[in-house]
Amino acid sequence: MSEALRTAEILSIGDELIHGSNLDTNARWLAQLLERHGVAVVRFTVVGDDPVLLEAAMREACERADLVVATGGLGPTLDDRTRDVAAKIAGGPLWFDAPSWQAIQDYLRARNRPIPDSNRRQAEFPPSAVVLSNPVGTAPAFRVRIHRAELFAFPGVPREMKRLAEDHLAPWLAKLPGAQPIAQQCLLVLGPSEALLGERIEPFMVAGREPAVGVTASGGMLTIRIVARGRDRAAAAAACEDTASQIRPLLGEWLLAEGEATLAELAVLRLVARKVTVAAAESCTAGLFSAKLAEVPGVSAVFLGSVVSYANDVKISALGVDPALLQRHGAVSEEVTAAMARGACERIGARLGLSVSGVAGPGGGTAEKPVGTICFGLCLDGAVTTWTLRFPDLGREFLRERAAIELLAAVLRHVP
């Protein structure tokens, strides 16, 4: 990391955030941008529009960090106070920038919008601020030195914030003296609990280790994230890979994939690369697997369709499952998921058919097949595989999510 830029903080401003009406997605996006430029973000702060509380938060951030990126509070209304508060901390009055006011008027006029006088406020800036023009909205951003920190103030509208950060913050970061790039590498793990995985890779997770290793959980998937700094991007990436190469042998078949892509993206990429068309027969997941696949743009090249066979009659009529199988083994059985997977291929005309049938609860569990028992089936070019997993009963939502993830993982495991 740059000697001149040790730490960065992000400050999100707005009553709608602090009251829980809107989710702050700006801080996350900015953190990713900053990390890509080798800047470590150490804190996000969210405050409302109250000027006293905003001033305290902004002052503290500028005293702690070398770089503070603020979003929000640059609108034309009276509750937009980022300009005023920054001026107060910088110790001088706001100044009026005539070219900015002209640009705001031009922007509104080009869109046949009225030009309320309140927009004039958006052309005012704290002392010594550098004006950062906004081609996609009325609120210009600015950059100003406050205490030890460089403060960037962007509008809160995500679309405008992203454009302005790319136009003004990214080039500024790239020019920092001695900026040390960060690299990160992800290992996607499916199988163990977070505790079990943590135990296996415990020596890598100690505080202060370089590269840093962390684990995050989402819907039963675990992601091991390795973050390293280096002289240049290649050195940082090499440090990541060095740690990854020590961790991989500890994971065995738990290791599902590597990289930043989501599991759905990886599955779709694999199917597209191998030109394998896919269909599904979903019971307890009721379309969740198909919906996850279809999150990925371009999936239509391989995904043909699915049958959600919630009722047994639909398993029989729409997938051709033999009623005798249902009678003899029950809907949650590998015999039935085998027939469902085969039916998905035949009825929909796909090379790969995936199926799932399970007890997601809260009702429906038995001693033999308790809540959490989920059977899977996979048919690839006519060859059928089935398997059963017994998940802990962490609730209906978890079980359905986990089952859908299992099918995405099955694509990676079974389509070579």
Judged by CB under 8 A, the chain residues 68 through 107 that form the site for a second copy are 75-79, 81
Beta-sheet strand order (sheet of 212-218): 212-218, 221-229, 182-190, 255-258
Among 26-34, 247-255, 265-273, 321-329, which window interacts with a second copy (CB under 8 A)?
Answer: 26-34
> Residue 28: CA atoms inside 13 Å, Cβ hemisphere, count?
3
CB-based burial of residue 285 (10 Å sphere; 0-12 exposed, 13-18 middle, 19+ buried)? buried
Q: Among the candidate windows 90-98, 264-272, 290-298, 351-359, which touches a second copy by CB under 8 A?
A: 290-298
Compute the distance between CA of residue 378 and CA of residue 382 in angstroms, rounded to an integer: 9
Sheet holding 352-358, edge to edge: 278-282, 352-358, 373-380, 383-390
Applying CB under 8 A, among 237, 276, 394, 415 the residue interacting with a second copy is 394
Q: How far is the CB of 32 from a second copy (least distance, A)?
A: 4
Among 159, 248, 274, 328, binds a second copy (CB under 8 A): 159
Nearest approach, Cβ of 362 to a second copy (angstroms)? 5
Among residues 241, 393, 413, 415, the one that binds a second copy under rule CB under 8 A: 393
Decide if residue 23 touches a second copy (CB under 8 A): yes
How far is the C-alpha of 205 from the C-alpha of 113, rounded, in Å? 55
What residues between 203 and 242 interact with a second copy by CB under 8 A? 205-207, 212, 214-218, 223, 225, 227
Q: What is the maximum alpha-carbon separation in the chain?
A: 84
Under 8 Å between Cβ of 13 and 73: yes
Enumerate residues 42-61 that contact a second copy by CB under 8 A. Answer: 42-51, 53, 57, 60
Instruction: Enumerate residues 116-135 that contact a second copy by CB under 8 A.
Output: 116-119
User: Residue 77 or residue 99: which is nearer to a second copy going by CB?
Assistant: 77
Residue with tokens 């950059």: 143
Q: C-beta of 1: minimal distance to a second copy in Å?
A: 14
Q: Which of 234, 238, 250, 311 binds a second copy (CB under 8 A)?
A: 311
Cα–Cα distance between 235 and 210 in angstroms, integer? 13
Q: Give yes or no for residue 167 binding a second copy (CB under 8 A).
A: no
Distance CA 212, CA 321 (A): 51
Least separation in angstroms between residue 144's CB and a second copy is 22
Number of residues that make up the chain: 416
Q: Quote the least distance from Cβ 128 to a second copy, whole Å.
A: 25
Q: Which of 157, 271, 332, 336 binds a second copy (CB under 8 A)?
A: 157
Give the burial string for 109-129 (b: 16+ CB within 10 Å, else e): eeeeeeeeeebebbbbbbeeb
Find the binder of a second copy among 127, 191, 198, 365 (CB under 8 A).
198
Q: Which of 288, 375, 378, 407 binds a second copy (CB under 8 A)?
A: 288
Site string for a second copy, 321-360 (x = CB under 8 A): --------------------------xxx-----------
What is the smallest separation between the CB atom of 129 and a second copy, expressed in angstroms?
A: 21
Alpha helices in 149-262 (DSSP H): 158-164, 170-174, 194-200, 233-251
Nearer to a second copy, 145 or 147 (CB): 147
User: Is 148 a residue that touches a second copy (CB under 8 A)?
Assistant: no
List the one residue from 1, 65, 247, 307 that touches a second copy (CB under 8 A).
Answer: 307
Note if the bond before 362 is cis, omega within 30 degrees: yes
Dihedral, 234, 240, 241, 242 alpha carbons, nearest 10: 110
Cα separation, 349 vs 277, whole angstroms: 8
State which residue, 177 or 297, has the beta carbon closest to a second copy.
297
294 binds a second copy (CB under 8 A): yes
Work out how close the CB of 416 gets to a second copy at its nearest, in angstroms, rounded to a whole number.
Answer: 24
CA distance 121 to 81: 10
Cα gap 57→118, rounded to integer Å:
26
